[in-house]
Structures are given as structure tokens and as C-alpha cells.
Structure 1
């Protein structure tokens, strides 16, 4: 059974940090330098960063549980009256079990309930499998962008969006 559990406690922030450390190197090291992945983990997906995002940046996080085990996480942000799908990561051994689809459906329903017109996200242009999943789930590429970071790295990303409709 797939369950989304809203993250509210420090121990849950730590669970996400642990999942991120396992998942992000596997996903990103083939397409960006490993030291940039380390930077990304420390800056955006550490226990402290997650707590700050929830407290100060209008983020909401959910642990994605499969049969009672935390196997991934979803991070959404309400920003300027729109929903940003900031993070959706699942352990490799649990991909293909409709966990990501369930998380995307949840984000869609959340956005519709809050009366947002669309969901936006940023995805690395080299992350072809993820791009294909988003396209399959109704997202469209709307812009090609370069994101630069204070650690000196830059990445080529796509901005994608999905218009909110009554049906998923």
C-alpha cells in the first residue's frame, strides 16, 4: 500500500536527508559532478535545510511509504500563488510501483484544492527518464534554462508545467 505522510518532526527531516543521500548520488552522479551533488544535498536536502524550507519558505514535505517503509519523498512549495513541485525522489528498488504516479496525483489534487492554475517544476535536461515520466503525466516543457549555483557549478534544466484540470 502506498501512503503519503506529511513531514513535521525532526526525525522525519532526518529520514528525508538519509533517503536523499542514497537517491541523489545514484540519480545525478552520471550527469553532474559528484561534488555538485554533495553541494545540493547539503544546501537543499539536509535535515537543517528541510526544516528551514518548511519553517520559512512555504514548503511541505511528505514521506512516500510503501507497505509501511519510507521509500521516497515529495517536496512542494507554494510560491507566488502557484505550486512548485520541488522534489520527488524514490529509491531505485521501489521505482515502477506507481509510487511516483501516486505522488503526482496527490500534488495535482493539492493544487486543485488550493485553486492553483498549474504545477511547475525544474528538471535537469540530461535526466531523460524523469522527463519522460513527467511528459507521460501531463507536464509540458515550457522553457530551457541554465541554473548557476554559488559553488561555481551550473546545470542546464527544463522548466516544465502542468495545467490543473478537474481530471488527473
Structure 2
């Protein structure tokens, strides 16, 4: 059974930090330098970073559980008329059992319930499997962008969007 649980305490944030370390290195090390993944983890997926995002940037984080086991996590940022799907990561051993699809349905429902007009996300151009999943779920590539980071590294990404229909 798939469960989506709001992460709202330090224990939950520590679980997300641990999941992020495992998942992001597995997903990104083949396509970007591991030291950039480490930078990204510290800057955006540490307990302190998550707490700051929730407190100051209108983020919400959720643990994705499968049969009571931590299988991944989701991070969204609510804006006025759009929702940023910031993070959706699932452990390799839990992929292919509809956790991502369930999470995307949850995000869509959240957007509809909050009067959101569109959902946006950024995905690495080399992450074709993930791009295909988003395309199957009605997202469209709207822009090709280069994200530059203070550590001097740049990443080629796609911005994808989905209009929310009520």
C-alpha cells in the first residue's frame, strides 16, 4: 500500500536527508560530477535546508511510503497561481510499482484544491526515463535552460509544465 505522509518534524527531515543521499547519487552521479551532487544535497536537501524551505519559502515535503517502508519523498513549493514540483525521488528498489504515479496524482489534486493553474518542474536533460514519465502524465517541455550554481557547475535542464484542469 502506498502512503503519502506530510513531513513536519526533524525526524522526518532526517529520513528525507538520508533518502536524498542515496537516491541522488544513484540518479545523478552517472551524468554530473559527484561533488556537485554533494553540493546540491547540502544546499537543498539537508535537514537545515528543508526546515528553511518550509519556514521561509512556502515548501511542503512528504514521505512516500510503501507497505510502511520509506520509499522516497516529494517536495512542492506553492506559489500564487503555480505549484513547483521541486522534488520527486524514489529509491531504485521501489520504482515501477506506481509510487511516482500516485505522487503525481496527489500533486495534481493538491493543485486543484488550492486554485493552482499550472504545475512546473525542472528535469535534467539527460534524465530521459524521468522525462518520459512526466510526458506520460501530461507535462510538456516548455523551455530548455542552463542552471548555473555558485559552486561553478552548470546543468542543462528542461522546464516542464502541466496545466491543471478542475
Displacement of 1:81: 3.0
Instruction: Note the residue ranges of structure 1 that are not aligned, 5 or more in a row.
Output: none
CA distance in 1 between counterparts of 2:34 and 2:101 reads 28
- The answer as to 2:51 corresponding to 1:51 is yes
CA distance in 2 between counterparts of 1:10 and 1:57 reads 17
Q: How does 1:86-105 map to 2 (within 5 A)?
A: 86-105=86-105
- Secondary structure of 1:42's match? helix
Aligned to 2:109: 109
TM-score (norm 1): 0.97
CA distance in 1 between counterparts of 2:119 and 2:159 reads 11
| Runs of 4+ residues deviating >3 angstroms | none
Instruction: Note the residue ranges of structure 2 that are not aligned, 5 or more in a row.
Output: none
CA distance in 1 between counterparts of 2:144 and 2:82 reads 20
Aligned to 1:119: 119
Displacement of 1:64: 0.1
User: Contact (CA 8 Å) 2:80, 2:116: kept in 1 or not?
Assistant: no
CA distance in 2 between counterparts of 1:151 and 1:7 reads 29
Q: How does 1:11-26 map to 2 (within 5 A)?
A: 11-26=11-26
Could you report, residue by residue, the CA deviation over 1:14-42 in whole angstroms, capped at 9, with x for unpaired residues? 00000000000000001111100000000
User: Contact (CA 8 Å) 2:10, 2:47: kept in 1 or not?
Assistant: yes
Could you report, residue by residue, the CA deviation over 1:54-74 in whole angstroms, capped at 9, with x for unpaired residues? 111100000000000111000
Aligned to 1:147: 147
Displacement of 1:2: 0.2
Root-mean-square deviation (CA, aligned residues, Å) is 0.7
Q: How many residues align?
A: 166
- Secondary structure of 1:35's match? helix
- The answer as to 2:67 corresponding to 1:83 is no
CA distance in 2 between counterparts of 1:126 and 1:35 reads 18
CA distance in 2 between counterparts of 1:7 and 1:81 reads 23
User: Contact (CA 8 Å) 2:3, 2:64: kept in 1 or not?
Assistant: yes
Aligned to 2:61: 61
TM-score (norm 2): 0.98
Aligned to 2:39: 39
CA distance in 2 between counterparts of 1:147 and 1:15 reads 27
- Secondary structure of 2:77's match? strand
